[in-house]
Structure 1
Amino acid sequence: MCNGTVVNGSAVWDFCTSSAGQIDGRCCLQTDNTSGAVHITGLDVSYCNLIVVEDLSEASTALMIDLSFNPISNLSDLVFEGFSQLFYVILPSNLTCPGGNASWEKTEVKGEVRVCEGQINACNQTGHISWDCPQNSLCSPYGPGFFACSCVESFHGYKCLREGEFPIVEVFGILGGSTILVSLVLWVTQRRKAKAM
């Protein structure tokens, strides 16, 4: 994903140098101070002659992605599902911002590029459709125009309606017992037929 080089003076270059990141090929990398993990915070795939963009999941921690100056004719919003920290996207001017303009604080066309800036939290968009998570769950952003509902602590199951721990012993006890019972019945009935032959 990071093959090639970031152009000196590009948006990703400026972002990376101002945020004390490390440039590696076309990526801006930063190390998490607590875990020591290295994350992609910027990705510059401009001028790569990309026609189709299918998977950017390796860069799901990116704050900035530059896809400008590529002959991309259609870009699915699903490419950016899970990019909850994405703040800045630069696209060819013929494309719309991921999730639509309502998913961004600011969208503008500058020459041949479209700039999408400031991803809006899909969980609390005032003046727009209210995305309701079921009772006993919390909404969290999951990329431009996407959201995820997670059960609050001590709730689980369909629509987070079940309270307490998941009944592992009961479920697997019944499943194991019924499997043994069916196996015994089949063994006895099939054994009897085998003796008759």
Structure 2
Amino acid sequence: MGVFVLLLLPWAAGGAGVCGRCPGPVRNDSLVAQFCAFPSGTEGRCCWERGAHAERLLGLDLSNCSLKSLPLELAEATTAIVLDLTENPLTPLTSSSFLGFTCLQHLAVPLALECPGGNGAWEQVTTRNSSRLCQRQRNPCNSSGELAWPCPENAACAPAGPGLAQCLCESPFHGYKCLREGTFPVLLFCGILGAVTLSLSLLLWGTQRRKAKTL
């Protein structure tokens, strides 16, 4: 269970869309309400940590939203620490459903579903009534056995979500399997790309002009 990428996933601090995915505020009996007792900011079904120059989504309550599958907007909530998906007729979650959710420590899902990444991706898995609680996400890079994730030479393992890992190139290596050494030639790459784009544009312009003269 894992995903192999050589680029760092972007840090996301958005979430306005997913906060309005379900009507109303955070439900009083939600796992999110217990965690966000004194949030610095709330918006719809979300609670936030807001500072002078940055903000971070901490909790997301999508319980009882009639969800049959995870919404696309969930990708906006990768900074969430707590997520409640209970009381939804959800289909089984795939191994990549929570790719990028490296901060997630408390996840509540319907009892019929397993924790993403399997029980081995969490320190503790418990059940209560009609829900399953997955707590304290394990770091697959520091584990042995099933969750251990090997990386090629010149790359280091980094968490990518429950039961998922990514391999990041160590400086100064880059490229496929981190086999190229030195800094990425940005100027050369942009120069070649610009020259090719300009050449194609001139070719298309000339072709279209000749066609226009023959009409």
1:7 aligns with 2:24: no
Letter in 1 for 2:48: L
Q: Which moved more, 1:77-86 or 1:124-133?
A: 124-133
Q: Does the Cα contact within 8 Å between 2:126 and 2:134 map onto a contact in 1?
A: yes
Report deviation, 1:143.
0.5
Structure with more relative contact order (C-alpha pairs < 8 Å, separation 6 or more): 2
Match of 2:46 in 1: 27
Structure 1 residues 172, 115: CA separation in 2 closer, same or farther (over 3 Å shift)?
closer
Letter in 1 for 2:122: W
Tell me how far apart the structure 2 counterparts of residues 74 and 128 of structure 1 sit (CA, whole Å). 21
Report deviation, 1:166.
2.3
Report deviation, 1:9.
4.4
Report deviation, 1:75.
2.1
Structure 1 residues 120, 32: CA separation in 2 closer, same or farther (over 3 Å shift)?
farther
Q: Does the Cα contact within 8 Å between 2:82 and 2:106 map onto a contact in 1?
A: yes
Tell me how far apart the structure 1 counterparts of residues 33 and 41 of structure 2 sit (CA, whole Å). 10
1:159 aligns with 2:177: yes
TM-score relative to the length of structure 2: 0.74
Q: Does the Cα contact within 8 Å between 2:141 and 2:147 map onto a contact in 1?
A: no
Tell me how far apart the structure 2 counterparts of residues 67 and 174 of structure 1 sit (CA, whole Å). 48
Report deviation, 1:21.
3.6
Structure 1 residues 163, 94: CA separation in 2 closer, same or farther (over 3 Å shift)?
same
Runs (5+) with no aligned partner, structure 1: 184-197
Tell me how far apart the structure 2 counterparts of residues 48 and 154 of structure 1 sit (CA, whole Å). 47
Letter in 1 for 2:27: V
Match of 1:51 in 2: 68
Deviations 1:82-103 (Å, cap 9, x if unpaired)? 0000001000000000111111
Deviations 1:1-22 (Å, cap 9, x if unpaired)? 223211124321121125x442
